[in-house]
Structure 1
Amino acid sequence: MAKTLRRLFTVLAATVAAVGLMTTAPASAETSSDTGVSPFIVGGSRVSTSTYPWVVYLATSTGGQFCGGTLVKANKVVTAAHCVSGRSASSTRVVHGRDDKQSTAGTVATVSRIWVHPSYRTASSGYDVAVLTLGTNINSTYLPLATPSDTALYAAGTSARIYGWGTTSSGGSASRYLLGATVPVTSDSTCRTAYSNYSPTSMVCAGYPQGGTDTCQGDSGGPLVAGGKLIGATSFGRGCALAGYPGVYARIASYYSVITAQL
């Protein structure tokens, strides 16, 4: 089974279940009638931006959601490089404060600048981080970045949270609503067993040995949160929520200096 990008280009586009890397982040959802949502991210439940106001999603200029992101300053969003590499700022929007993608709640912000890590080539080779500068400030709580001294947040077994509007199964339908779930950070050795290209200096993995809870297509760029800080950005994985294959995230602490230089 090929590694898949955890990215969904638009809500209406067909989800790609196995093409290269899983650069869109966590958890998708099997959703979705107008009256309800499946209780999975994969393996999660519906949550609200009123509780997690720093969770945002990236959209095309016509409104199609394709990735997630995290508000880290009033006009700055951290996401995955694979989400925005090659995109123009003018064709990109950031949606804040909208749980239901079919609603008009919250703020739709334009993007004035896209910074992609200069060493980024592919998600599986690391450096999968980007910073968006918004055309307007958003009056909201934002999430602090993990720093190089936050080593405890990356210890195996640390409880972390994932969020996104992606699919609830590999190749499934995108969730209409924001979903969240809890996953443990895995050890570097566990992640290296699953992915031969795993780099502990640029990546971190999270997930249960038995699978069942994960990010999925459309969640790329979204947050992995522990200790009240952003410790990862959803990057790639093999399938979604498979046993033995945790999700892979950009290790934010490793990029702390270059990210803060953009803030």
Structure 2
Amino acid sequence: MAATLHRLRSLLGAALAAATLSMACVSVAEAAPTPSTDGDVGAQIVGGTRASTSTYPWVVYLATSSGFQYCGGTLVAPNKVVTAAHCTEGDSASAVRVVAGRDDKNSTAGTTARVTKIWIHPSYTDATRGYDVSVLTLDRNLSQTPIKFATSADSALYTAGTSSTILGWGTTSSGGSASRYLLKATVPLTSNSSCASSYGSDFIASAMVCAGYAQGGTDTCQGDSGGPLVAGGKLIGITSWGEGCAAAGYPGVYTRVATYAPQIQAQL
């Protein structure tokens, strides 16, 4: 099964292609994460509605030095952002920008911060093997309010059926165009057994959590990678991978934040 690294790669490919067309865009290739070889990464919220960073101040996006948005992230401390390892693998800190407080990617609202350090879980090799978590250190403290992240004490937040919120600027359909605006959607968490039925041995319950409707229709997608899955007022998941976007029987797969909370905390 070809996993979609949720959901960035098709958008990233477009950025890399653009870099070959114009010297003005050469920084795109320098700034973008190195693509892995196991499938598409990239996503926007499918079946979503407009959202505002005034309501969700902790949701941010990752951009190249030329401003191309390719992943999402979550502010967990004034100068710390949690994202997916597959969004930052092979990248240099100097090439990445974090944009906060900007609903419309075409605007100049909010703050664009530089990244001074990228931490990737040392055991990360591929999103379908777990450990898909990265922490970025920013060059400044942002004024936006961070969100708390789940720990081992928050097991109840992972109960099947729990209503959760997903957010992002990625595509609104698999392989489609990226959203100009921040979008959100509500999806229920699925049971581990249900997710294992969909993804087989690629689903690792201790490392991942799934969310979505059995009939599909609402999901993260390309360009949403690294963005938040939130329940109970806490970050419980990181958009990671999936089979297509919003396909029936294939929920989105998210990094189970509580499992990696000690390593995340160590970076703060």
- TM-score of the pair, normalised by structure 2: 0.89
Q: In 2, distance between residues paired with 1:125 and 1:192?
A: 14
Contact in 1 for aligned 2:165/2:184 (Cα 8 Å): yes
Give 1:9 shift.
2.1
Instruction: Quote the residue 1:212 is aligned against.
Output: 217
Contact in 1 for aligned 2:120/2:135 (Cα 8 Å): yes
SS at match of 2:112: strand
Q: In 2, distance between residues paired with 1:204 and 1:21?
A: 20
Contact in 1 for aligned 2:101/2:144 (Cα 8 Å): no
SS at match of 1:195: helix
Equivalent position to 2:122, from 114, 118, 125: 118
Equivalent position to 1:20, from 38, 59, 70: 38
* Amino acid in the other structure paired with 1:232: G
Q: In 2, distance between residues paired with 1:168 and 1:43?
A: 7
Which ranges of structure 2 fall in alignment gaps of 5 or more residues? 18-36
Aligned length: 245
SS at match of 2:214: coil
Instruction: Quote the residue 1:46 is aligned against.
Output: 50
Instruction: Quote the residue 2:248 is aligned against.
Output: 243
- TM-score of the pair, normalised by structure 1: 0.90
| Percent identical | 67
Q: In 2, distance between residues paired with 1:218 and 1:140?
A: 22
* 1:1-263 alignment, distance < 5 Å: 2-5=2-5, 6-7=7-8, 8-9=11-12, 12=15, 20-21=38-39, 23-24=41-42, 28=44, 41-196=45-200, 197-263=202-268
* Amino acid in the other structure paired with 1:174: A
Give 1:2 shift.
2.6
* Amino acid in the other structure paired with 2:205: P
Could you say what the CA RMSD is over the residues aligned between the two structures, in angstroms?
A: 1.4
SS at match of 2:115: strand
Contact in 2 for aligned 1:146/1:256 (Cα 8 Å): yes
SS at match of 1:121: coil
Which ranges of structure 1 fall in alignment gaps of 5 or more residues? 29-40
CA deviation digits over 1:227-259, x for unaligned, max 9? Answer: 000000000000000000000000000000000
